[in-house]
Structure 1
Amino acid sequence: MANLYDGKMAAIYDAMYQTFVNYDDEYAFYNNLITENNASSVLEIGSGSGNLAKRFHKNNQNYIGLDYSEDMIAIAKERNKNGTFIKGDMRDFQLNETVDCILITGRSTSYLISNQDINKTFECLHKNLNNEGIIIFDFIDANRFIPFTKENPVITHEADYQDIHYIRESHWDTNMSLENFMLEWSAKYYALINGKKEMIENDFSTVRVFTRNEIELFLYLNHFEILQTIDRKTYAYDTYVIVAKKIKL
Protein backbone atom coordinates (compact mmCIF):
# COMPACT_ATOMS: atom_id res chain seq x y z
CA MET A 1 0.00 0.00 0.00
CA ALA A 2 1.40 3.38 -0.99
CA ASN A 3 2.29 5.82 1.79
CA LEU A 4 0.34 8.65 0.21
CA TYR A 5 -0.55 11.99 1.71
CA ASP A 6 1.66 11.91 4.77
CA GLY A 7 3.39 14.95 6.22
CA LYS A 8 3.42 17.99 3.98
CA MET A 9 1.51 16.16 1.23
CA ALA A 10 -1.59 15.84 3.44
CA ALA A 11 -2.00 19.62 3.66
CA ILE A 12 -1.32 20.11 -0.07
CA TYR A 13 -3.83 17.42 -0.98
CA ASP A 14 -6.45 18.96 1.28
CA ALA A 15 -5.94 22.43 -0.18
CA MET A 16 -6.09 21.37 -3.83
CA TYR A 17 -9.06 19.05 -3.53
CA GLN A 18 -11.20 21.80 -2.03
CA THR A 19 -11.58 23.09 -5.58
CA PHE A 20 -11.09 19.84 -7.55
CA VAL A 21 -14.12 18.21 -5.92
CA ASN A 22 -17.54 19.65 -5.14
CA TYR A 23 -18.01 17.87 -1.83
CA ASP A 24 -21.68 18.85 -1.57
CA ASP A 25 -22.34 17.07 -4.88
CA GLU A 26 -20.11 14.18 -3.85
CA TYR A 27 -22.00 13.73 -0.60
CA ALA A 28 -25.39 13.95 -2.36
CA PHE A 29 -24.32 11.29 -4.88
CA TYR A 30 -23.20 8.78 -2.26
CA ASN A 31 -25.95 9.57 0.22
CA ASN A 32 -28.61 8.95 -2.43
CA LEU A 33 -27.20 5.47 -3.02
CA ILE A 34 -27.01 4.83 0.72
CA THR A 35 -30.61 5.96 1.22
CA GLU A 36 -31.90 3.94 -1.75
CA ASN A 37 -30.46 0.82 -0.14
CA ASN A 38 -31.86 1.56 3.33
CA ALA A 39 -28.44 1.75 4.99
CA SER A 40 -28.13 3.67 8.26
CA SER A 41 -24.54 3.03 9.42
CA VAL A 42 -21.64 3.94 7.13
CA LEU A 43 -17.90 3.33 7.04
CA GLU A 44 -15.92 5.42 4.56
CA ILE A 45 -12.57 3.97 3.51
CA GLY A 46 -10.21 6.62 2.19
CA SER A 47 -11.90 9.26 4.33
CA GLY A 48 -8.86 11.51 3.89
CA SER A 49 -9.11 14.96 5.40
CA GLY A 50 -12.75 14.52 6.40
CA ASN A 51 -14.60 16.53 3.78
CA LEU A 52 -17.36 13.95 3.21
CA ALA A 53 -17.35 13.19 6.93
CA LYS A 54 -18.29 16.81 7.58
CA ARG A 55 -21.46 16.38 5.52
CA PHE A 56 -22.41 13.08 7.16
CA HIS A 57 -21.96 14.59 10.62
CA LYS A 58 -23.94 17.70 9.69
CA ASN A 59 -26.86 15.40 8.91
CA ASN A 60 -26.41 13.41 12.15
CA GLN A 61 -25.64 10.14 10.37
CA ASN A 62 -23.93 7.13 11.90
CA TYR A 63 -20.53 7.54 10.22
CA ILE A 64 -16.99 6.24 10.75
CA GLY A 65 -13.95 7.21 8.67
CA LEU A 66 -10.96 4.97 7.99
CA ASP A 67 -7.72 6.10 6.37
CA TYR A 68 -4.16 4.83 5.94
CA SER A 69 -2.56 8.21 6.66
CA GLU A 70 -2.21 9.52 10.22
CA ASP A 71 -1.64 13.03 8.87
CA MET A 72 -4.87 12.96 6.89
CA ILE A 73 -6.74 11.69 9.94
CA ALA A 74 -5.29 14.56 11.99
CA ILE A 75 -6.79 17.06 9.53
CA ALA A 76 -10.10 15.15 9.52
CA LYS A 77 -10.29 15.25 13.33
CA GLU A 78 -9.61 18.97 13.35
CA ARG A 79 -12.38 19.47 10.79
CA ASN A 80 -14.80 17.13 12.61
CA LYS A 81 -14.31 17.61 16.34
CA ASN A 82 -16.78 14.89 17.34
CA GLY A 83 -16.07 12.51 14.48
CA THR A 84 -14.78 8.95 14.70
CA PHE A 85 -11.75 8.17 12.56
CA ILE A 86 -9.63 5.02 12.49
CA LYS A 87 -6.16 4.52 11.09
CA GLY A 88 -6.35 1.31 9.13
CA ASP A 89 -5.64 -0.69 6.02
CA MET A 90 -8.62 -1.60 3.82
CA ARG A 91 -7.12 -5.07 3.35
CA ASP A 92 -7.16 -5.91 7.06
CA PHE A 93 -9.32 -4.14 9.64
CA GLN A 94 -11.93 -5.11 12.19
CA LEU A 95 -14.73 -2.80 13.34
CA ASN A 96 -16.21 -3.08 16.81
CA GLU A 97 -19.63 -3.41 15.18
CA THR A 98 -20.60 -4.34 11.63
CA VAL A 99 -22.16 -1.64 9.44
CA ASP A 100 -24.85 -1.41 6.76
CA CYS A 101 -22.67 0.26 4.12
CA ILE A 102 -18.97 0.56 3.32
CA LEU A 103 -17.79 3.25 0.91
CA ILE A 104 -14.40 3.29 -0.78
CA THR A 105 -14.06 6.81 -2.15
CA GLY A 106 -11.56 8.84 -4.15
CA ARG A 107 -10.54 5.96 -6.44
CA SER A 108 -8.67 4.42 -3.51
CA THR A 109 -9.07 1.01 -5.20
CA SER A 110 -6.19 2.12 -7.46
CA TYR A 111 -3.78 1.33 -4.64
CA LEU A 112 -4.81 -2.34 -4.53
CA ILE A 113 -1.91 -3.44 -6.69
CA SER A 114 -2.06 -7.23 -6.57
CA ASN A 115 -4.94 -9.68 -6.94
CA GLN A 116 -4.24 -10.72 -3.36
CA ASP A 117 -4.75 -7.09 -2.25
CA ILE A 118 -8.14 -7.00 -3.95
CA ASN A 119 -9.31 -10.35 -2.61
CA LYS A 120 -8.19 -9.51 0.92
CA THR A 121 -10.02 -6.18 0.71
CA PHE A 122 -13.31 -7.67 -0.46
CA GLU A 123 -13.02 -10.44 2.14
CA CYS A 124 -12.46 -7.80 4.84
CA LEU A 125 -15.42 -5.72 3.64
CA HIS A 126 -17.61 -8.83 3.68
CA LYS A 127 -16.87 -9.65 7.32
CA ASN A 128 -17.41 -6.04 8.48
CA LEU A 129 -20.85 -5.73 6.86
CA ASN A 130 -24.24 -6.61 8.28
CA ASN A 131 -26.17 -9.33 6.47
CA GLU A 132 -27.18 -7.97 3.06
CA GLY A 133 -25.06 -4.88 3.69
CA ILE A 134 -23.75 -3.02 0.66
CA ILE A 135 -20.45 -1.73 -0.63
CA ILE A 136 -20.11 1.31 -2.88
CA PHE A 137 -16.79 2.05 -4.57
CA ASP A 138 -15.33 3.66 -7.66
CA PHE A 139 -12.50 2.54 -9.91
CA ILE A 140 -10.63 4.00 -12.88
CA ASP A 141 -11.71 2.38 -16.16
CA ALA A 142 -8.60 0.89 -17.84
CA ASN A 143 -10.18 0.78 -21.29
CA ARG A 144 -10.62 4.54 -21.35
CA PHE A 145 -7.87 5.74 -19.06
CA ILE A 146 -4.84 4.02 -20.59
CA PRO A 147 -5.51 5.46 -24.08
CA PHE A 148 -6.12 8.85 -22.47
CA THR A 149 -2.69 8.80 -20.79
CA LYS A 150 -1.05 7.84 -24.07
CA GLU A 151 -2.63 10.82 -25.79
CA ASN A 152 -2.02 13.18 -22.84
CA PRO A 153 1.46 12.45 -21.41
CA VAL A 154 1.27 15.39 -18.97
CA ILE A 155 -1.99 16.20 -17.20
CA THR A 156 -2.20 19.57 -15.45
CA HIS A 157 -4.63 20.51 -12.69
CA GLU A 158 -4.84 23.95 -11.10
CA ALA A 159 -6.64 25.10 -7.99
CA ASP A 160 -7.00 28.30 -5.94
CA TYR A 161 -7.34 27.97 -2.20
CA GLN A 162 -6.83 30.53 0.57
CA ASP A 163 -5.20 33.01 -1.83
CA ILE A 164 -2.69 30.48 -3.13
CA HIS A 165 -2.71 29.19 -6.72
CA TYR A 166 -1.63 25.55 -6.84
CA ILE A 167 -0.54 23.62 -9.93
CA ARG A 168 -0.10 19.86 -10.23
CA GLU A 169 1.60 18.35 -13.28
CA SER A 170 0.99 14.61 -13.47
CA HIS A 171 2.73 12.09 -15.69
CA TRP A 172 1.50 8.52 -16.23
CA ASP A 173 3.66 5.69 -17.59
CA THR A 174 2.23 2.31 -18.51
CA ASN A 175 4.74 -0.19 -17.17
CA MET A 176 4.45 -3.31 -19.31
CA SER A 177 6.87 -5.18 -17.03
CA LEU A 178 4.38 -5.05 -14.17
CA GLU A 179 1.43 -7.38 -13.65
CA ASN A 180 -2.15 -6.42 -14.47
CA PHE A 181 -2.95 -2.92 -15.75
CA MET A 182 -0.53 -0.89 -13.69
CA LEU A 183 0.80 2.60 -14.19
CA GLU A 184 3.54 4.60 -12.58
CA TRP A 185 2.30 8.02 -11.56
CA SER A 186 4.60 10.94 -10.84
CA ALA A 187 3.51 14.46 -10.01
CA LYS A 188 5.12 17.79 -9.34
CA TYR A 189 3.28 20.29 -7.17
CA TYR A 190 3.83 24.03 -7.55
CA ALA A 191 2.51 27.20 -5.97
CA LEU A 192 2.52 30.64 -7.54
CA ILE A 193 4.33 32.79 -5.02
CA ASN A 194 4.85 36.49 -5.85
CA GLY A 195 4.01 35.65 -9.45
CA LYS A 196 6.64 32.92 -9.67
CA LYS A 197 6.03 29.18 -10.06
CA GLU A 198 7.82 27.42 -7.20
CA MET A 199 7.94 23.68 -6.67
CA ILE A 200 6.61 22.65 -3.28
CA GLU A 201 6.55 18.84 -3.46
CA ASN A 202 7.08 15.71 -5.58
CA ASP A 203 4.93 12.60 -5.41
CA PHE A 204 5.22 9.13 -6.93
CA SER A 205 3.25 5.91 -6.71
CA THR A 206 2.36 2.79 -8.64
CA VAL A 207 -1.37 2.44 -9.22
CA ARG A 208 -3.70 -0.05 -10.85
CA VAL A 209 -6.64 0.53 -13.16
CA PHE A 210 -9.31 -2.07 -13.90
CA THR A 211 -11.65 -3.37 -16.54
CA ARG A 212 -15.29 -3.88 -15.63
CA ASN A 213 -14.95 -7.62 -16.20
CA GLU A 214 -12.11 -7.85 -13.68
CA ILE A 215 -14.12 -6.08 -10.99
CA GLU A 216 -17.23 -8.16 -11.70
CA LEU A 217 -15.26 -11.40 -11.30
CA PHE A 218 -13.52 -10.28 -8.12
CA LEU A 219 -16.88 -9.42 -6.59
CA TYR A 220 -18.45 -12.72 -7.67
CA LEU A 221 -15.55 -14.73 -6.23
CA ASN A 222 -15.79 -12.82 -2.94
CA HIS A 223 -19.55 -13.31 -2.49
CA PHE A 224 -20.97 -9.99 -3.62
CA GLU A 225 -23.90 -9.43 -5.96
CA ILE A 226 -23.72 -6.31 -8.14
CA LEU A 227 -26.85 -4.17 -7.81
CA GLN A 228 -25.84 -1.20 -9.91
CA THR A 229 -22.99 0.00 -12.15
CA ILE A 230 -22.81 3.75 -12.73
CA ASP A 231 -20.68 5.36 -15.42
CA ARG A 232 -19.49 8.53 -13.71
CA LYS A 233 -17.23 11.37 -14.77
CA THR A 234 -15.06 12.94 -12.08
CA TYR A 235 -12.85 16.02 -12.06
CA ALA A 236 -10.07 14.09 -13.79
CA TYR A 237 -10.95 10.60 -14.97
CA ASP A 238 -13.88 8.56 -16.21
CA THR A 239 -14.77 6.04 -13.55
CA TYR A 240 -17.33 3.41 -12.74
CA VAL A 241 -19.13 3.29 -9.41
CA ILE A 242 -20.26 -0.12 -8.24
CA VAL A 243 -23.02 -0.83 -5.72
CA ALA A 244 -22.91 -4.46 -4.56
CA LYS A 245 -24.71 -6.46 -1.88
CA LYS A 246 -23.13 -8.94 0.52
CA ILE A 247 -24.23 -12.51 -0.10
CA LYS A 248 -24.58 -14.42 3.13
CA LEU A 249 -22.28 -17.47 3.25
Structure 2
Amino acid sequence: MANLYDGKMAAIYDAMYQTFVDYDEEYAFYNNLIQENNGSSILEIGSGTGNLAKRFAKNNQNYQGLDYSDDMITIARERNPNSSFTQGDMRDFKLNTLFDAILITGRSTSYLITNDDINRTFDSLYKNLNDNGIIIFDFIDANRFIPFTKENPLIVHEAVYENVNYRRESHWNTNTALENFMLEWSANYFTVINDKKELLEKDFSTVRVFTLNEIELFLYLSNFEIIKTIDRKTYAYDTYVIIARKKV
Protein backbone atom coordinates (compact mmCIF):
# COMPACT_ATOMS: atom_id res chain seq x y z
CA MET A 1 0.00 0.00 0.00
CA ALA A 2 1.28 3.45 -0.86
CA ASN A 3 2.83 5.67 1.79
CA LEU A 4 0.51 8.31 0.37
CA TYR A 5 -2.29 7.31 2.68
CA ASP A 6 -0.45 7.39 6.01
CA GLY A 7 0.93 10.05 8.32
CA LYS A 8 1.23 13.60 7.06
CA MET A 9 0.74 12.42 3.47
CA ALA A 10 -2.94 11.80 4.24
CA ALA A 11 -3.42 15.55 4.77
CA ILE A 12 -1.35 16.45 1.70
CA TYR A 13 -3.33 13.98 -0.39
CA ASP A 14 -6.57 15.47 0.91
CA ALA A 15 -5.51 19.02 0.05
CA MET A 16 -4.34 18.21 -3.47
CA TYR A 17 -7.32 16.09 -4.42
CA GLN A 18 -9.72 18.88 -3.47
CA THR A 19 -8.66 20.50 -6.73
CA PHE A 20 -7.93 17.35 -8.77
CA VAL A 21 -11.42 15.94 -8.31
CA ASP A 22 -14.82 17.63 -8.53
CA TYR A 23 -16.44 15.76 -5.65
CA ASP A 24 -19.92 17.13 -6.38
CA GLU A 25 -19.65 15.68 -9.88
CA GLU A 26 -18.15 12.45 -8.52
CA TYR A 27 -21.00 12.07 -6.04
CA ALA A 28 -23.64 12.70 -8.72
CA PHE A 29 -22.02 10.12 -11.00
CA TYR A 30 -21.99 7.33 -8.40
CA ASN A 31 -25.31 8.23 -6.82
CA ASN A 32 -27.10 8.14 -10.18
CA LEU A 33 -25.82 4.60 -10.74
CA ILE A 34 -26.93 3.57 -7.26
CA GLN A 35 -30.40 5.02 -7.74
CA GLU A 36 -30.75 3.40 -11.18
CA ASN A 37 -30.33 0.08 -9.38
CA ASN A 38 -32.57 0.89 -6.41
CA GLY A 39 -29.75 0.93 -3.87
CA SER A 40 -30.51 2.32 -0.43
CA SER A 41 -27.63 1.04 1.73
CA ILE A 42 -24.15 1.96 0.53
CA LEU A 43 -20.61 0.92 1.44
CA GLU A 44 -17.73 2.89 -0.05
CA ILE A 45 -14.38 1.11 -0.08
CA GLY A 46 -11.46 3.51 -0.37
CA SER A 47 -13.50 6.17 1.39
CA GLY A 48 -10.32 8.12 2.12
CA THR A 49 -10.76 11.45 3.88
CA GLY A 50 -14.53 11.38 3.51
CA ASN A 51 -15.17 13.70 0.60
CA LEU A 52 -17.88 11.53 -0.95
CA ALA A 53 -19.16 10.58 2.50
CA LYS A 54 -19.90 14.27 3.09
CA ARG A 55 -22.22 14.31 0.08
CA PHE A 56 -24.00 11.08 1.01
CA ALA A 57 -24.51 12.36 4.56
CA LYS A 58 -25.87 15.69 3.31
CA ASN A 59 -28.57 13.76 1.47
CA ASN A 60 -29.36 11.56 4.50
CA GLN A 61 -28.36 8.35 2.75
CA ASN A 62 -27.53 5.10 4.50
CA TYR A 63 -23.76 5.21 4.02
CA GLN A 64 -20.70 3.56 5.54
CA GLY A 65 -17.05 3.97 4.61
CA LEU A 66 -14.16 1.51 4.75
CA ASP A 67 -10.51 2.40 4.24
CA TYR A 68 -7.12 0.75 4.77
CA SER A 69 -5.54 3.85 6.33
CA ASP A 70 -6.23 4.88 9.92
CA ASP A 71 -4.87 8.36 9.17
CA MET A 72 -7.32 8.86 6.32
CA ILE A 73 -10.18 7.65 8.50
CA THR A 74 -9.20 10.12 11.23
CA ILE A 75 -9.66 13.00 8.78
CA ALA A 76 -12.90 11.46 7.45
CA ARG A 77 -14.39 11.24 10.96
CA GLU A 78 -13.48 14.85 11.71
CA ARG A 79 -15.17 15.88 8.47
CA ASN A 80 -18.20 13.62 8.96
CA PRO A 81 -18.89 13.16 12.68
CA ASN A 82 -22.26 11.50 12.04
CA SER A 83 -21.02 8.96 9.49
CA SER A 84 -19.62 5.49 10.17
CA PHE A 85 -16.10 4.53 9.06
CA THR A 86 -14.23 1.26 9.55
CA GLN A 87 -10.55 0.47 9.09
CA GLY A 88 -10.29 -2.62 6.93
CA ASP A 89 -8.79 -4.43 3.98
CA MET A 90 -11.04 -4.88 0.93
CA ARG A 91 -9.52 -8.33 0.40
CA ASP A 92 -10.90 -9.63 3.70
CA PHE A 93 -13.64 -7.81 5.60
CA LYS A 94 -16.96 -8.69 7.21
CA LEU A 95 -19.28 -5.98 8.45
CA ASN A 96 -22.34 -6.35 10.63
CA THR A 97 -24.80 -5.52 7.88
CA LEU A 98 -25.27 -6.33 4.21
CA PHE A 99 -25.44 -3.63 1.55
CA ASP A 100 -27.43 -2.93 -1.60
CA ALA A 101 -24.43 -1.26 -3.26
CA ILE A 102 -20.69 -1.43 -2.66
CA LEU A 103 -18.42 1.14 -4.31
CA ILE A 104 -14.67 0.91 -4.78
CA THR A 105 -13.67 4.47 -5.61
CA GLY A 106 -10.52 6.34 -6.58
CA ARG A 107 -9.06 3.52 -8.68
CA SER A 108 -8.26 1.63 -5.48
CA THR A 109 -8.32 -1.56 -7.56
CA SER A 110 -4.81 -0.54 -8.65
CA TYR A 111 -3.48 -1.89 -5.35
CA LEU A 112 -4.83 -5.39 -6.01
CA ILE A 113 -1.51 -6.65 -7.30
CA THR A 114 -2.05 -10.40 -7.61
CA ASN A 115 -4.86 -12.50 -9.03
CA ASP A 116 -5.41 -13.78 -5.49
CA ASP A 117 -5.94 -10.17 -4.33
CA ILE A 118 -8.64 -9.73 -6.98
CA ASN A 119 -10.39 -13.00 -6.23
CA ARG A 120 -10.36 -12.41 -2.46
CA THR A 121 -11.74 -8.89 -2.94
CA PHE A 122 -14.62 -9.99 -5.15
CA ASP A 123 -15.35 -12.81 -2.68
CA SER A 124 -15.52 -10.28 0.19
CA LEU A 125 -17.78 -8.01 -1.84
CA TYR A 126 -20.08 -10.92 -2.64
CA LYS A 127 -20.38 -11.90 1.04
CA ASN A 128 -21.19 -8.33 2.14
CA LEU A 129 -23.94 -7.73 -0.45
CA ASN A 130 -27.66 -8.30 -0.21
CA ASP A 131 -29.16 -10.70 -2.74
CA ASN A 132 -29.08 -9.00 -6.15
CA GLY A 133 -26.87 -6.23 -4.71
CA ILE A 134 -24.48 -4.39 -7.00
CA ILE A 135 -20.83 -3.43 -7.03
CA ILE A 136 -19.51 -0.32 -8.76
CA PHE A 137 -15.78 0.18 -9.28
CA ASP A 138 -13.30 1.73 -11.65
CA PHE A 139 -9.92 0.57 -12.92
CA ILE A 140 -7.12 2.01 -15.03
CA ASP A 141 -7.21 0.74 -18.61
CA ALA A 142 -3.88 -0.93 -19.41
CA ASN A 143 -4.33 -0.62 -23.16
CA ARG A 144 -4.38 3.16 -23.00
CA PHE A 145 -2.42 4.03 -19.87
CA ILE A 146 0.75 2.01 -20.50
CA PRO A 147 1.37 3.74 -23.89
CA PHE A 148 0.63 7.10 -22.22
CA THR A 149 3.31 6.52 -19.57
CA LYS A 150 5.81 5.52 -22.25
CA GLU A 151 5.19 8.78 -24.09
CA ASN A 152 5.09 10.91 -20.92
CA PRO A 153 7.87 9.77 -18.53
CA LEU A 154 7.27 12.76 -16.23
CA ILE A 155 3.71 13.69 -15.33
CA VAL A 156 3.12 16.90 -13.37
CA HIS A 157 0.00 17.82 -11.42
CA GLU A 158 -0.40 21.20 -9.75
CA ALA A 159 -3.05 22.32 -7.31
CA VAL A 160 -3.86 25.30 -5.12
CA TYR A 161 -5.71 24.70 -1.87
CA GLU A 162 -6.17 27.15 1.01
CA ASN A 163 -3.62 29.49 -0.61
CA VAL A 164 -0.94 26.80 -0.75
CA ASN A 165 0.56 25.83 -4.13
CA TYR A 166 1.22 22.11 -4.45
CA ARG A 167 3.08 20.24 -7.16
CA ARG A 168 3.38 16.50 -7.75
CA GLU A 169 5.96 15.09 -10.14
CA SER A 170 5.22 11.48 -11.06
CA HIS A 171 7.34 8.90 -12.86
CA TRP A 172 5.84 5.65 -14.20
CA ASN A 173 7.94 2.65 -15.21
CA THR A 174 6.58 -0.58 -16.65
CA ASN A 175 7.85 -3.57 -14.68
CA THR A 176 8.01 -6.48 -17.10
CA ALA A 177 9.69 -8.70 -14.49
CA LEU A 178 6.43 -9.04 -12.60
CA GLU A 179 3.33 -10.97 -13.57
CA ASN A 180 0.29 -9.15 -14.94
CA PHE A 181 0.41 -5.51 -16.10
CA MET A 182 2.42 -3.74 -13.40
CA LEU A 183 3.72 -0.20 -13.15
CA GLU A 184 6.14 1.23 -10.61
CA TRP A 185 5.04 4.71 -9.60
CA SER A 186 7.32 7.16 -7.84
CA ALA A 187 6.29 10.69 -6.95
CA ASN A 188 7.72 13.77 -5.29
CA TYR A 189 5.37 16.21 -3.56
CA PHE A 190 6.33 19.87 -3.26
CA THR A 191 4.99 23.18 -2.11
CA VAL A 192 5.85 26.01 -4.47
CA ILE A 193 6.68 29.41 -3.00
CA ASN A 194 7.92 32.25 -5.22
CA ASP A 195 8.57 29.72 -7.99
CA LYS A 196 10.81 27.66 -5.69
CA LYS A 197 9.98 24.06 -4.89
CA GLU A 198 10.23 22.71 -1.37
CA LEU A 199 10.05 18.93 -1.06
CA LEU A 200 7.30 17.70 1.24
CA GLU A 201 7.42 13.94 0.77
CA LYS A 202 8.37 11.12 -1.56
CA ASP A 203 6.16 8.19 -2.40
CA PHE A 204 6.56 4.88 -4.20
CA SER A 205 4.04 2.20 -5.14
CA THR A 206 3.73 -0.81 -7.37
CA VAL A 207 0.31 -0.65 -9.01
CA ARG A 208 -1.61 -2.85 -11.39
CA VAL A 209 -3.57 -1.83 -14.46
CA PHE A 210 -6.07 -4.10 -16.18
CA THR A 211 -7.60 -4.90 -19.52
CA LEU A 212 -11.37 -4.98 -19.74
CA ASN A 213 -11.28 -8.66 -20.69
CA GLU A 214 -9.37 -9.51 -17.50
CA ILE A 215 -11.94 -7.80 -15.29
CA GLU A 216 -14.83 -9.43 -17.13
CA LEU A 217 -13.35 -12.87 -16.50
CA PHE A 218 -12.61 -12.21 -12.82
CA LEU A 219 -16.22 -11.12 -12.30
CA TYR A 220 -17.62 -14.13 -14.13
CA LEU A 221 -15.54 -16.50 -11.99
CA SER A 222 -16.68 -14.68 -8.83
CA ASN A 223 -20.37 -15.07 -9.72
CA PHE A 224 -21.07 -11.48 -10.73
CA GLU A 225 -22.99 -10.42 -13.83
CA ILE A 226 -21.93 -7.18 -15.53
CA ILE A 227 -24.91 -4.95 -16.16
CA LYS A 228 -23.14 -1.83 -17.41
CA THR A 229 -19.67 -0.71 -18.53
CA ILE A 230 -18.76 2.97 -18.77
CA ASP A 231 -15.67 4.34 -20.52
CA ARG A 232 -14.75 7.26 -18.28
CA LYS A 233 -11.89 9.73 -18.28
CA THR A 234 -10.89 10.81 -14.77
CA TYR A 235 -8.53 13.62 -13.79
CA ALA A 236 -5.40 11.70 -14.83
CA TYR A 237 -6.39 8.32 -16.17
CA ASP A 238 -8.45 6.58 -18.82
CA THR A 239 -10.66 4.24 -16.82
CA TYR A 240 -13.57 1.89 -17.11
CA VAL A 241 -16.36 1.86 -14.55
CA ILE A 242 -18.07 -1.47 -14.04
CA ILE A 243 -21.52 -2.05 -12.54
CA ALA A 244 -22.09 -5.72 -11.77
CA ARG A 245 -24.84 -7.61 -9.94
CA LYS A 246 -24.43 -10.44 -7.46
CA LYS A 247 -25.83 -13.67 -8.86
CA VAL A 248 -27.67 -15.82 -6.32
**For this structure pair, what is the TM-score category when the shorter chain's length is used for normalisation?**
over 0.9
Is the 8 Å Cα contact of residues 3 and 203 (structure 2) preserved in structure 1? Answer: no
Q: 2:55 is matched with which residue?
A: 55
TM-score (norm 2): 0.99
- For 2:76, the aligned partner's letter is A
Q: 2:149 is matched with which residue?
A: 149
Is the 8 Å Cα contact of residues 3 and 204 (structure 2) preserved in structure 1? Answer: no
- CA RMSD for the aligned pairs? 0.8
Shift of 1:192: 1.2
Is the 8 Å Cα contact of residues 181 and 210 (structure 2) preserved in structure 1? Answer: yes
**What SS does structure 2 have at the residue aligned with 1:176?**
coil
Q: How many residues align?
A: 248
Is the 8 Å Cα contact of residues 4 and 13 (structure 2) preserved in structure 1? Answer: no
**What SS does structure 2 have at the residue aligned with 1:235?**
coil
1:100 aligns with 2:100: yes
- Inter-partner Cα distance in structure 2 for 1:100 and 1:201: 39
Cα offsets for 1:66-103 (capped at 9, x unmatched)? 00000000000000011100000000000101000000
- For 2:141, the aligned partner's letter is D
Cα offsets for 1:91-138 (capped at 9, x unmatched)? 000010100000000000000000000000000000000000000000
Q: 1:219 is matched with which residue?
A: 219
Q: 1:60 to 1:23 in 2, by over 3 A?
A: same
- Inter-partner Cα distance in structure 1 for 2:216 and 2:162: 42
Structure 1 residue ranges (4+ consecutive) displaced by more than 6 angstroms after TM superposition:
none
Residue pairs, 1:21-40, within 5 angstroms: 21-40=21-40
- For 2:31, the aligned partner's letter is N
Cα offsets for 1:172-222 (capped at 9, x unmatched)? 000110110000000000001354211110000000000000000000000
Is the 8 Å Cα contact of residues 3 and 9 (structure 2) preserved in structure 1? Answer: no
- Inter-partner Cα distance in structure 1 for 2:38 and 2:81: 27
Is the 8 Å Cα contact of residues 231 and 241 (structure 1) preserved in structure 2? Answer: yes
- For 1:28, the aligned partner's letter is A
Residue pairs, 1:1-249, within 5 angstroms: 1-248=1-248
**What SS does structure 2 have at the residue aligned with 1:132?**
strand
- Inter-partner Cα distance in structure 2 for 1:72 and 1:203: 16
- For 1:153, the aligned partner's letter is P
Structure 2 unaligned segments of length 5 or more: list them: none
- Inter-partner Cα distance in structure 1 for 2:195 and 2:163: 12
Query: Could you tell me the percent identity over the aligned residues?
Result: 77
Structure 1 unaligned segments of length 5 or more: list them: none
Cα offsets for 1:128-182 (capped at 9, x unmatched)? 0000000000000000000000000010000000110000000000011011000
Is the 8 Å Cα contact of residues 2 and 204 (structure 2) preserved in structure 1? Answer: no
- For 1:245, the aligned partner's letter is R
